[in-house]
Structure 1
Amino acid sequence: MTGDGAALTFLAMALPFVAALLAPLVVRRLGANAAWLIALAPLAVFAHLLGFLPEIARGEVVTGGYAWVPSLNLSFSWFLDGLSLTFALLITGIGTLIVLYAGGYMKGHPQQGRFFSFILMFMGAMLGVVMSDSFLMLFVFWELTSITSFLLIGFDHQREASRRAALQALVVTGGGGLALLAGLIFIWNITGVTQLSLLVHTGDLLRASPFYVTALFLVLGGAFTKSAQFPFHFWLPNAMEAPTPVSAYLHSATMVKAGVYLLMRLNPVMGETPAWEILLPFFGGITLLVGALLAIRQTDLKLMLAYTTVASLGLLVLLTGFGSTYAVEAAVLYLVAHSLFKGALFMVAGIVDHEAGTRDVTRLGGLRAAMPVTFAAALLAAISMAGLPPFFGFLAKEEIYAALAGSGPRAVLFALAAILGNALMFAIAFAVALKPFLGPKVETPKHAHEGPLLLWFGPLLLALAGLAAAVFSGPWHRAVSSPMASAVAGTAKAVTIDLVPHPGLPLALSGATVALGILVYLGLSRARLAMERLLDILGPGPDRGFDAFIRGLVRLSFQVTRVIQNGRLDVYVTFTFALLALALLVPPVLFDELPKLPAWPADARFHELAFFAIAVIGLFAVLRVNDRLTAIVSLGIQGFAVAIIYLLFGAPDLSFTQFMVETLSVVILALVMTRLRLSPADPRTLLERVVDGTIAVACGLGFSMLLLKSTEIPFDAVLTDFFNTYSKVIAHGANVVNVIIVDFRGTDTLGEIAVVMITGLAILALIRIRVAPKGGK
Structure 2
Amino acid sequence: MLVAVVLGFIFALLVPFFSRFTKRAISLVYPLIPLFLFLYFLGFLEKIKSEGQILFHYNWVPSLGIDLSFRLDGLSLLFALMITGIGTLVFAYTANYLKGHQYLDRFYGYLSMFMASMLGVVLSDNLMSMFIFWELTSISSYFLIGFNNDDPASRKSALTALSITGFGGLVMLSGIILLQVVGGSYSFTELLNSSEIIKNSNSYGWIIALMFVGAFTKSAQFPFHFWLPGAMKAPTPVSTYLHSATMVKAGIYLLARFTPLLGDTIWWNSTLVTVGAITMVYAAIHSVFRVDLKGILAYSTISALGILVFLIGIGTEKSLLAAGIFILAHALYKAALFLITGIIDHETGSRDVSKLAGLQKVMMPVAIAGFLAALSSAGLPFLLGFISKEVMYEATLQLGNWALILTALAVLTKILLLVAGFWAGIKPFTGNLPSEFNKAHMPSPLLWVPPLLLGFLSLGFGMFPFFIQESLIQPVFSSISGSDTTIELKLWHGFNLVLLLSVLTLVSGGLLYFFLKPSKALIEKTFKFEVISPQNIIENGSNLFGSFARFWTRFFQNGYLRNYVITILAFLTLLMAYRLFGEVNIYIDWEQISTVSYYEAIVVLMMIISIIFAISTNSRTTAIVALGVVGFANCLFFIFYSAPDLAMTQFSIDTLTVLLFMLVLVKLPKNKSFSSKGMKFRDAFLSLTFGVLIAILTLEVFEEPSSSEVSKYFADNAYLLAKGRNVVNVILVDYRGFDTMIETVVLVIAAAGVFSLMKLDLNPSKKDL
| Structure 1 and Structure 2 fold alike (TM over 0.5) | yes
Q: Deviations over 1:137-179 (max 9, x none)?
A: 2222222222221211111111222122212212222222222
Question: Is 1:247–2:229 an aligned residue pair?
Answer: no
Q: Name the CA distance, whole Å, in 2 between partners of 1:533 and 1:614.
A: 81
C-alpha displacement of 1:355: 2.2
Note the 1:9-158 alignment, pairs <5 A.
Answer: 9-27=1-19, 29-158=21-150
Q: Which amino acid aligns with 1:521?
A: Y
More moved, 20-29 vs 175-184: 20-29
C-alpha displacement of 1:238: 1.6
Aligned to 2:641: 649
Question: Is 1:758–2:740 an aligned residue pair?
Answer: no
**Shift in CA distance, 356/222, structure 1 to aligned 2, threshold 3 Å:** same
Aligned to 1:3: none
Q: Name the CA distance, whole Å, in 2 between partners of 1:493 and 1:597.
A: 76
Q: Deviations over 1:586-630 (max 9, x none)?
A: 344444375745644347766556545554554455445554432
**Shift in CA distance, 699/445, structure 1 to aligned 2, threshold 3 Å:** farther
**Shift in CA distance, 410/708, structure 1 to aligned 2, threshold 3 Å:** farther
Q: Deviations over 1:52-92 (max 9, x none)?
A: 33333235433334444433323333333322222122112
**Shift in CA distance, 329/719, structure 1 to aligned 2, threshold 3 Å:** farther
**Shift in CA distance, 706/511, structure 1 to aligned 2, threshold 3 Å:** farther
Unpaired runs of 5+ residues, structure 1, are: 1-8
Note the 1:361-376 alignment, pairs <5 A.
Answer: 361-376=353-368
* 1:63 aligned counterpart, secondary structure: strand
| TM-score under structure 2 length normalisation | 0.92
**Shift in CA distance, 79/565, structure 1 to aligned 2, threshold 3 Å:** same
Question: Is 1:203–2:185 an aligned residue pair?
Answer: no
Aligned to 2:161: 169
Given that 1:260 and 1:317 are in contact with CA atoms closer than 8 Å, whether structure 2 keeps it comes out as yes
Aligned to 1:456: 448
Note the 1:723-762 alignment, pairs <5 A.
Answer: 736-762=727-753
**Shift in CA distance, 543/623, structure 1 to aligned 2, threshold 3 Å:** closer
**Shift in CA distance, 248/670, structure 1 to aligned 2, threshold 3 Å:** same
Aligned to 1:4: none
Q: Which amino acid aligns with 1:117?
A: G
Q: Which amino acid aligns with 1:88?
A: A
Given that 1:104 and 1:452 are in contact with CA atoms closer than 8 Å, whether structure 2 keeps it comes out as yes
Q: Which amino acid aligns with 2:506?
A: V
Q: Name the CA distance, whole Å, in 2 between partners of 1:634 and 1:537.
A: 70
C-alpha displacement of 1:729: 6.5
Given that 2:378 and 2:414 are in contact with CA atoms closer than 8 Å, whether structure 1 keeps it comes out as yes
Q: Deviations over 1:264-298 (max 9, x none)?
A: 12222322222222221111111111111111122
Q: Which amino acid aligns with 1:746?
A: G
**Shift in CA distance, 369/597, structure 1 to aligned 2, threshold 3 Å:** farther
**Shift in CA distance, 492/642, structure 1 to aligned 2, threshold 3 Å:** farther
Q: Name the CA distance, whole Å, in 1 between partners of 2:61 and 2:728.
A: 33
Question: Is 1:179–2:136 an aligned residue pair?
Answer: no
Q: Which amino acid aligns with 1:424?
A: L
Q: Deviations over 1:280-327 (max 9, x none)?
A: 111111111111111112222222111110110010111111133311
Given that 1:675 and 1:767 are in contact with CA atoms closer than 8 Å, whether structure 2 keeps it comes out as yes
Given that 1:358 and 1:444 are in contact with CA atoms closer than 8 Å, whether structure 2 keeps it comes out as no
Given that 1:358 and 1:445 are in contact with CA atoms closer than 8 Å, whether structure 2 keeps it comes out as no
Q: Name the CA distance, whole Å, in 2 between partners of 1:460 and 1:737.
A: 79
**Shift in CA distance, 773/44, structure 1 to aligned 2, threshold 3 Å:** closer
Question: Is 1:637–2:603 an aligned residue pair?
Answer: no
Q: Deviations over 1:685-711 (max 9, x none)?
A: 333223212322333344445555555
* 1:449 aligned counterpart, secondary structure: coil
Aligned to 2:370: 378
Q: Deviations over 1:715-769 (max 9, x none)?
A: 4566556656766676565655444333332322221111111222334445567
Match of 1:267 among 256, 259, 262: 259
Given that 2:589 and 2:703 are in contact with CA atoms closer than 8 Å, whether structure 1 keeps it comes out as no
Question: Is 1:584–2:576 an aligned residue pair?
Answer: yes
C-alpha displacement of 1:333: 1.0
Q: Name the CA distance, whole Å, in 1 between partners of 2:399 and 2:762.
A: 90
Given that 1:69 and 1:75 are in contact with CA atoms closer than 8 Å, whether structure 2 keeps it comes out as yes
More moved, 54-63 vs 392-401: 54-63
Aligned to 2:328: 336
Note the 1:708-719 alignment, pairs <5 A.
Answer: 708=699, 714-715=705-706, 719=710
Match of 2:350 among 327, 351, 358: 358
C-alpha displacement of 1:50: 3.1
**Shift in CA distance, 633/284, structure 1 to aligned 2, threshold 3 Å:** same
Given that 2:354 and 2:519 are in contact with CA atoms closer than 8 Å, whether structure 1 keeps it comes out as no
* 1:497 aligned counterpart, secondary structure: coil
Given that 2:65 and 2:186 are in contact with CA atoms closer than 8 Å, whether structure 1 keeps it comes out as yes
Alignment RMSD, CA only?
3.0
Given that 2:290 and 2:523 are in contact with CA atoms closer than 8 Å, whether structure 1 keeps it comes out as no
Q: Name the CA distance, whole Å, in 2 between partners of 1:579 and 1:334.
A: 57
Identity between Structure 1 and Structure 2 (%): 38
**Shift in CA distance, 484/695, structure 1 to aligned 2, threshold 3 Å:** farther
Q: Name the CA distance, whole Å, in 2 between partners of 1:412 and 1:531.
A: 30
More moved, 409-418 vs 608-617: 608-617
C-alpha displacement of 1:426: 1.5
Aligned to 1:424: 416
Q: Deviations over 1:657-689 (max 9, x none)?
A: 211111111222233334434559x93333322
Note the 1:293-312 alignment, pairs <5 A.
Answer: 293-312=285-304
Q: Name the CA distance, whole Å, in 2 between partners of 1:771 and 1:535.
A: 57
More moved, 51-60 vs 292-301: 51-60
Given that 1:675 and 1:766 are in contact with CA atoms closer than 8 Å, whether structure 2 keeps it comes out as no
Q: Name the CA distance, whole Å, in 1 between partners of 2:369 and 2:694.
A: 75
* 1:79 aligned counterpart, secondary structure: strand
Q: Which amino acid aligns with 1:239?
A: A
C-alpha displacement of 1:263: 1.4
Aligned to 2:526: 535
Match of 1:564 among 556, 567, 572: 556
Q: Deviations over 1:406-427 (max 9, x none)?
A: 4644222111111011111122
Aligned to 2:279: 287
More moved, 221-230 vs 241-250: 221-230
Aligned to 1:686: 677
Q: How many residues align?
A: 767
C-alpha displacement of 1:107: 0.7
Q: Which amino acid aligns with 2:689?
A: A
Q: Name the CA distance, whole Å, in 2 between partners of 1:591 and 1:61.
A: 55
Match of 1:700 among 665, 678, 691: 691
More moved, 638-647 vs 599-608: 599-608
Match of 2:513 among 506, 521, 541: 521
Match of 1:506 among 490, 498, 508: 498
**Shift in CA distance, 126/446, structure 1 to aligned 2, threshold 3 Å:** farther
Aligned to 1:6: none
| TM-score under structure 1 length normalisation | 0.91
Question: Is 1:402–2:387 an aligned residue pair?
Answer: no
C-alpha displacement of 1:227: 0.8
C-alpha displacement of 1:198: 2.4
**Shift in CA distance, 72/586, structure 1 to aligned 2, threshold 3 Å:** farther
Unpaired runs of 5+ residues, structure 2, are: none
* 2:317 aligned counterpart, secondary structure: coil
Aligned to 2:220: 228
Question: Is 1:322–2:322 an aligned residue pair?
Answer: no
C-alpha displacement of 1:180: 1.6
Q: Name the CA distance, whole Å, in 2 between partners of 1:50 and 1:593.
A: 70
